[in-house]
Amino acid sequence: MSETENNYIQFNNIDFSNISTGWVHKLNKEKLIRELARRNLITSGLVIDLKTRLLNYLKGESSSNDFDTPTTNITFIPNPIGDYEETEIKSNMGDNKKPYFKPGKFTGALSENIDTFLKNYHRASLINGWSENEKAQYIPIFLEDSA
């Protein structure tokens, strides 16, 4: 890694033309901040500024002003934390052709058994391939009324 006259950071031996950047446009502000922080880039600003900063980094066009910490010994990270395209597909549960199991709704009525619901919900998470994060994210969808 070196720095040019214009304060641009240069990563040696990296072919930036082969690095995919389409996933950046699918990120919300929270995920942009996470990706920027992972790369020691500044995480403040409007969404458009955050996207521009991350895209410039991925194209090898970052300046030393884009980094949160001094720019010595920085490792280039081309890939996102997770596969955002895959996450987007999973969140559109009815739009894909993967098997999908609905655990049913739980209302909290006296006639319902919470253990049965949780057992069905756990089974659904296994069938649907949900991570622990996704299990926590999806459970409110299946709760109704006082539950």
Is residue 68 in some structural domain? Answer: yes
Q: Helix 47-58 crosses helix 29-38 at what angle (to 10 degrees)?
A: 40
With tokens 């600003």, the residue in question is: 45
3 state SS for 31-63: HHHHHHHHCCECCCCCHHHHHHHHHHHHCCCCE
Residue 97 DSSP one-character state: -
Place of tokens 């949160």: 68
Single pTM value for the model: 0.41
* 58 vs 13, higher pLDDT: 58
Distance CA 83, CA 120 (A): 27
Boundary of a domain, candidates 60, 82, 104: 82
Rg over CA atoms, the chain: 21
8 and 54 both lie in a single domain: yes
Containing structural domain, residue 61: 2-82
> Is the pLDDT reported for residue 2 higher than 50?
no
Residues 8-25, mean pLDDT to the nearest whole number: 62
How many separate domains does the chain show?
2
Shared-domain flag, residues 63 and 98: no
Please write the tens of the pLDDT for every residue from 45-93.
Answer: 899 989 988 888 877 777 777 777 655 555 555 566 665 544 444 455 5
Residue 136 has pLDDT above 80, yes or no: yes
Same domain? For 73 and 117 the reply is: no
